[in-house]
Amino acid sequence: MNLAEIRDLHLGAVTDSGRKVEIIKGVSLDIAPGEIVALIGESGSGKTTIALSLMGHVRQGCHFESGSVTVDGTDMVTANETARARMRGTTVAYVPQSAAAGFNPAKKLMDQVVEVAKIHSLMPLDQARAKAVDIFRALALPDPENIGDRYPHQVSGGQLQRLAAAMALIGDPKLVIFDEPTTALDVTTQIEVLRAFKSVMKNGGMAGVYVSHDLAVVAQIADRIIVLKGGEIQEQGSATQILEAAGHPYTRSLLSAFKPDARVARAQDVDQLGGIVLAADQITAGYGPVDRHGRPHKIALHQVSCNLERGRNLGVIGESGSGKSTLARCMAGLLPPVSGTVSLGGNDLAPQVQRRSKEELRRLQIVFQLADTALNPAQSIGDSIGRPLRFYHCMKGGAYDARIAELLDMVRLPGAMRHRLPGELSGGQKQRVNLARALAANPEVILCDEITSALDTVVAAAVIDLLKELQRDLNLSYVFISHDLSTVEAICDDVMVMHHGRVVETLPAAGLHQAARDPYSKLLFASVPKLDIGWLDRLTQDPDFTAAMAAR
500 near 333, Cβ under 8 Å?
Answer: no
470 near 464, Cβ under 8 Å?
Answer: no
State in angstroms the smallest separation of the CB of 81 from another protein.
8
Burial of 377 (0-12, 13-18, 19+ CB in 10 A): exposed
Strands 232-238 and 224-229: antiparallel
Comparison of 112 and 506: residue with beta carbon closer to another protein: 112
515 near 507, Cβ under 8 Å?
Answer: yes
Q: Tell me, what DSSP letter sits at residue 88?
A: B
* Of 89, 208, 382, 501, the one binding another protein by CB under 8 A: 89
Residues written for the chain: 552
Question: Binding to another protein by residue 55, rule CB under 8 A?
Answer: yes
Residues 115-134 as x/- pattern, contact with another protein by CB under 8 A: xx--xx--------------
Q: Residue 47: which of 29, 71, 20 has the closest Cα?
A: 29
The amino acid at 257: A
* Of 14, 125, 130, 334, the one binding another protein by CB under 8 A: 334
- Count of residues that bind another protein according to CB under 8 A: 59
Question: Binding to another protein by residue 290, rule CB under 8 A?
Answer: no
Residues 141-160 as x/- pattern, contact with another protein by CB under 8 A: ----------x-xx------
Comparison of 66 and 104: residue with beta carbon closer to another protein: 104
Question: Binding to another protein by residue 379, rule CB under 8 A?
Answer: yes
Rounded alpha-carbon distances, angstroms, from residue 345 to 117, 275, 276, 349: 65, 8, 7, 10
Comparison of 364 and 462: residue with beta carbon closer to another protein: 364
Residues in 12-51 that interact with another protein by CB under 8 A: 16-18
* Of 2, 68, 74, 98, the one binding another protein by CB under 8 A: 98
Span of 62-70, 203-211, 308-316, 353-361 interacting with another protein by CB under 8 A: 353-361
Q: Tell me, what DSSP letter sits at residue 549?
A: H
Comparison of 480 and 520: residue with beta carbon closer to another protein: 480
Q: Tell me, what DSSP letter sits at residue 41?
A: -
State in angstroms the smallest separation of the CB of 390 from another protein.
11
* Of 64, 136, 368, 478, the one binding another protein by CB under 8 A: 368
Q: Tell me, what DSSP letter sits at residue 313?
A: E
**3-state secondary structure labels for all residues of 92-152:** EEEECCCHHHHCCCCCCHHHHHCHHHHHCCCCCHHHHHHHHHHHHHHCCCCCCCCHHHCCH
Comparison of 101 and 265: residue with beta carbon closer to another protein: 101
Span of 210-218, 251-259, 349-357, 464-472 interacting with another protein by CB under 8 A: 349-357
First-to-last C-alpha distance (Å) of the chain:
46
* Of 374, 389, 395, 463, the one binding another protein by CB under 8 A: 374
- Judged by the rule CB under 8 A, the positions of this chain that interact with another protein are 16-18, 55, 57, 81, 85-90, 93-94, 96, 98, 101-107, 115-116, 119-120, 151, 153-154, 167, 332-334, 353-354, 356, 358, 361, 365-370, 373-379, 384, 387-388, 391-392, 437, 441
